[in-house]
Amino acid sequence: SCENNLLTVESLSVTIRNSRKKLIHNLNFSIPQGEIFGLVGESGSGKSLTATVILGMLSKSLEVTSGSVTLGQSEITSLSERELRNIRGRDIAYLSQNYQSFFTPFIKVGQQFIEIIRCHTDMSRKEAKKVAIHWLNKVHLPAERVFNSFPDELSGGQLQRASIASAIMFRPKLIIADEPTTALDVLTGERILDLLSELKEELNCSILLISHDLKHIIKRTQTVGVMYGGQIVEIGKTSAVVANPIHPYTNLLLQSRLRLNKHIQHELPTMLGEPGLIAEEGCPFTKRCPSAMESCSNKVPMNSLGKHHSAACHLVNAEREERYVTR
């Protein structure tokens, strides 16, 4: 793995304990220092579960059966609960879609900031307030007013900004943003993503941006991994994947995007079946794929289509041949 990768996920598999049911299967990706990596796929594809493993918060009913997650010098999957607690909230910030429940109701936002800060440092209340105001300003909120507000006095966008401020106060190396805009209107969501890009520069951190919506991923990320059925089925430089998508599932996600943009959502392709229909053997997309062939029910390896682009699909070879013939 590369020297300047902040996060490296290698051959990671997660199963339900005491069963052979794999929820994540042989996941490989890395995030360079200072880059935004997008993980995209339908809900249930394993994106949030991947975040859970990186945070060292896997439920006791699940088990890592192979692989490793490395953040800087730390091998997350081998740390004690105490060591993990030090990393969470400090080295890794986690932003969820449930920012509405991030703050406790009936306690002023500023009060909650001060408690979080004093829990991690030995600052006085006065010093803690200064830190809180600093970061509320950084996320472009009217800091004093928000500090003195109750959570229910803030809009959705303001609450999300405040939760971001509180998550990044200790200058994390990695921000995991799990569907950070799902509950917001489009414009507010775009501004939150602008803010994340800006904070990335400010903190010189990396971001794992998880989304079911490829349109966010395209504009904001350097690299993208497309997940289906617990596997990454296509991965590469975002520009390469978007210009030349190989996996039919990636194509489906891109088509959905274009059609949504043209407000003809009802014409979404239906031939591709139900989301979440996952084949147990071979390519997980077999049951929905219009190009499925006999060999797809056997193991389909990740094939490289150039230095910065690979896909786990037999069509990679067809694509290569086509290129060879036409040039």
Q: Which of 177, 251, 261, 164 is nearest to 211 (CA)?
A: 177
Of 18-26, 188-196, 257-265, 308-316, the segment contacting ligand SF4 by CB under 6 A is 308-316
Q: Site mask, ligand SF4, residues 224-263, x = CB under 6 A?
A: -----------------------xx---------------
Residue 164 sits at φ, ψ, to 5 deg, of -65, -45
Q: Report DSSP letters for 27-43, one per residue.
A: EEEEEETT-EEEEE--T
Neighbour tally for 253: CB within 10 Å: 22
Q: Which one of residues 128, 296, 309, 310 is an interface residue with ligand SF4 (CB under 6 A)?
A: 296
Strand pairing partners for 303?
311
Q: How far is the CB of 44 from Mg ion (least distance, A)?
A: 8
Window contacting Mg ion (CB under 5 A); options: 43-51, 133-141, 143-151, 220-228: 43-51
Selected from 14, 62, 76, 283, the binder of ligand SF4 by CB under 6 A is 283
48: contact with Mg ion by CB under 5 A: yes
Residue 276 · residue 42 · CB < 8 Å: yes
Q: Which of Mg ion, ligand SF4, none does residue 48 bind (CB under 5 to 8 Å by kind)?
A: Mg ion
285 in contact with ligand SF4 (CB under 6 A): yes
Distance separating alpha carbons of residues 45 and 150, to the nearest angstrom? 36
Question: Do strands 206-211 and 62-71 pair parallel, antiparallel, or not at all (unpaired)?
Answer: unpaired
Nearest to 125 by CA among 113, 138, 135: 113
Cα-based angle 275, 281, 284 (whole degrees, multiple of 5): 30
Per CB under 6 A, the segment of 27-35, 54-62, 185-193, 284-292 that binds ligand SF4 is 284-292
To ligand SF4, the closest distance from the beta carbon of 235 in angstroms equals: 14
Interface residues with ligand SF4 (CB under 6 A) are 247-248, 283, 285-286, 289, 291-292, 296, 300, 313-315
User: Under the rule (CB under 5 A), what is the footprint of Mg ion?
Assistant: 48
